[in-house]
Structure 1
Amino acid sequence: MTTIRTGTDLAAVEDVIAGITAHGERYLSRVFTARERADAGDDPERLAARFAGKEAVLKLLRPAATDAVPLTDVAIVHDTVGAPVVELTGRAAELANRIGCDTIAISLSHERGLALATAVALTAS
């Protein structure tokens, strides 16, 4: 049976700025891949949208409480025309494979200090 799964998240840009201010490179490398940072130009608004995207994807994947999924296993990057796409590696890719999910569509937005993301996928379970 094919199922539609969705995930949505809202992130505050000020929280990303606070993370960068408090922890600098350690925060950035723990949360974002090098490609995400390059695509976003390290702009806090764009990084917040990617953070919301990661959280939306994880909500869609529904890991168990015991599943540790590093945030860098979910990357929100640009395709060749600049649209956001989801790339999964490691544990996140395993979870997607387990539910029969090949592709996750993502939509990002940011305005007035908030970033929103919605992820949608068709799965086999």
Structure 2
Amino acid sequence: MRTGTDLAAVEDVLEGITAHGERYLSRVFTPRERADAGDDPERLAARFAGKEAVLKLLRPDRSDAVPLTDVAVVHDAVGAPVVELTGRAAELAEAIGCDTIAVSLSHERGLAVATAVALTDR
């Protein structure tokens, strides 16, 4: 079993949006994440924490650049958060025998937290 947890400040996400606008948003979040979150900074911060939690679970090498958009935290049909991996993140998951990553998100009082959990073959 592998786990990852992350805490993100809503203020940091808001500062990224304010300073860099669309460039920041498109570099960090997928179009579906943005649509699911309605570009709300609290919800985006929760997704950012989710992405970081997943990357901690995947444990890439320090030299391994994994774009944040390779990890998407989106809603399923009933509104629960699910993880979708593409590109390098999907390759890392496959290398450790990880089919599914569960994620839990929460945000309150300017902070967002996420925990990711997965069973792996290795």
TM-score (norm 1): 0.97
User: Is it true that 1:7 corresponds to 2:15 in the alignment?
Assistant: no
Q: Which runs of 5+ in 2 are unaligned?
A: none
User: Is it true that 1:32 corresponds to 2:22 in the alignment?
Assistant: no
**Corresponding residue for 2:69?**
72
**Corresponding residue for 2:81?**
84
Within 2, Cα distance between the matches of 1:72 and 1:86? 11
Q: Which amino acid aligns with 2:76?
A: D
Aligned-pair CA distance for 1:113:
0.1
Within 2, Cα distance between the matches of 1:92 and 1:67? 10
Aligned-pair CA distance for 1:66:
1.1
Aligned-pair CA distance for 1:103:
0.1
1:15-60 residue CA offsets vs partner (Å, 9 max, x unmatched): 0000000000000000000000000000000000000000000000
**Corresponding residue for 1:103?**
100
TM-score (norm 2): 1.00
Matched residue count: 122
User: Is it true that 1:49 corresponds to 2:35 in the alignment?
Assistant: no
Identity %, equivalent residues: 88
Runs of 4+ in 1 over 2 A off after TM superposition: none
Q: Which amino acid aligns with 2:120?
A: T
**Corresponding residue for 1:119?**
116
